[in-house]
Amino acid sequence: MSRILELRVKAKAVKRRVVLPEGNDDRVVRAASFIAKESLADVCLLGNKEDVKKLAAKNSISLEGVNVLDPLIHEKRGEIVNSYYELRKAKGMTLEEADKFLNEKTVFYAAMMVKLGMADGFVGGASCATADVARAAIHCIRLDKEIGTLSSCFVMEINDCPYGDKGLFVYADCGVIPYPSPRQLAGIAIASSDLFARLFGVKPRVAMLSYSTKGSASGETIDGINDAVAKVKERRPDILIEGELQVDAALVPEVARKKCGESEVAGKANVLIFPNLDAGNIAYKLTERLARAKAIGPILQGLESPCSDLSRGCSWEDVVDAVVITAVRVVK
């Protein structure tokens, strides 16, 4: 069985409450139906109930077990609106503007439900932009003080692959920070390592990727990577991390031995940290298309509560996988 599919067993055991704010999207409705049927999570679908019912009927989707919640008549709406207003009033937002905004931007409503303990996590982005999902997370859910930065990662699974953990990887950052500073790179590495361990119970081996391996070239970006490695080792000495490493030195044992000698990471890496967003985004899409890999994400990380973004080209199965990962990430 796929390692990603195995996560459904874990999700079913913990049964967390996950909010899906895009009840106007047939892929999201279909995913909610499947999640409810398989008892993978207590799924809450935001939307006008009659509109959701019509969409479900049109696409022959069962809503049995799905909690459809209309934000306009939600019994907790007043508390949610007031709480969001308190968060944003210093920025000049009025209570009336907060009420209108949350009606228009249901992903923010979902994020506020998580903040107030009405849900364990949320998954959005099938219909709205990544920027909205990221802003909702930043505005409504506090950053993890240890990590200190919001970033994203993809869980990648490649069939018949001898590298990583039998083809299993985390790639980061692939969707949020264009040019991370050394401090941000360190936060990305820590968050990605912890996520890999949380999901799969496997020891993460973190490679900070570059065009250079252990001083084979020099440059400002390489100095930044080495600074980030030092910060991780200082803050989290339990994490196995090495850099800077070229991709072949990070993945291929024979190459690693030639370039690095004996190493606990080089040639065995399963968490790949890219130096910038261009590299991370290009790498995950190349891997997904050319290697026909399964790619789940962007999974947002560095927050006190879990949430996940979706590609606007996602399938309903992608929504299911994002919900499952979000549920398994919840710490209680």
**pLDDT band (50, 70, 90) for residue 190:** very high
Q: Are residues 159 and 100 in the same domain?
A: no
Q: Are residues 26 and 79 in the same domain?
A: yes
* Mean pLDDT of the region 69-92: 92
- Whether residue 247 contacts residue 259, with contact meaning beta carbons closer than 8 Å, is answered with no
**In degrees to the nearest 10, what's the CA dihedral of 327, 157, 318, 300?**
50
**Is 60 exceeded by the pLDDT of residue 231?**
yes
The amino acid occupying position 162 is P
- pLDDT number for residue 124: 93
> Is 315 inside any structural domain?
no
DSSP one-letter code for 311: -
Ranges of beta strands (E only) in the chain are 17-20, 42-46, 67-69, 121-123, 151-157, 168-172, 205-209, 240-245, 271-273, 294-301, 307-308
> Is 145 inside any structural domain?
no
| Residue the block writes with tokens 């509560």 | 305
- Whether residue 175 contacts residue 130, with contact meaning beta carbons closer than 8 Å, is answered with yes
**Each residue of 16-53: pLDDT tens digit?**
999 999 999 999 999 999 999 999 999 999 999 999 99
| Stretch among 193-197, 202-206, 253-257, 328-332 having the lowest mean pLDDT | 328-332
> Is 318 inside any structural domain?
no
* Mean pLDDT of the region 81-108: 92
**Each residue of 301-330: pLDDT tens digit?**
999 999 999 988 889 999 999 999 999 998
> Is 119 inside any structural domain?
yes
Q: Which residues contact 261 (CB under 8 A, 6 or more apart)?
A: none
**pLDDT band (50, 70, 90) for residue 218:** confident
- Tally the residues of the chain: 332
| Residue the block writes with tokens 């070229």 | 246
**pLDDT band (50, 70, 90) for residue 1:** low
**Is 70 exceeded by the pLDDT of residue 125?**
yes
Q: Are residues 188 and 106 in the same domain?
A: no
**pLDDT band (50, 70, 90) for residue 217:** confident
**Closest C-alpha to 115, from 129, 99, 136, 132:** 136
> Is 324 inside any structural domain?
no
Q: Are residues 181 and 225 in the same domain?
A: yes
**Is 90 exceeded by the pLDDT of residue 206?**
yes
- pLDDT number for residue 52: 92
The share of the chain scoring above pLDDT 70, in percent, equals: 99
Q: Are residues 109 and 202 in the same domain?
A: no
- pLDDT number for residue 94: 94
- pLDDT number for residue 10: 93
The amino acid occupying position 74 is H
**pLDDT band (50, 70, 90) for residue 281:** very high
On average, the pLDDT of the chain sits at 92
> Is 144 inside any structural domain?
no
CB atoms under 10 Å from CB of 179, counted, come to 11
- 30: domain CATH number? 3.40.50.10950
> Is 54 inside any structural domain?
yes
Among 127, 159, 187, the domain boundary falls at 127
> Is 306 inside any structural domain?
no
Range of the domain at 180: 151-290
**pLDDT band (50, 70, 90) for residue 129:** confident
* Mean pLDDT of the region 222-235: 94
* Mean pLDDT of the region 253-279: 93
**Is 70 exceeded by the pLDDT of residue 216?**
yes
The number of folded domains in the chain is 2
DSSP one-letter code for 179: S
φ, ψ for residue 287 (rounded to 5)?
-60, -45
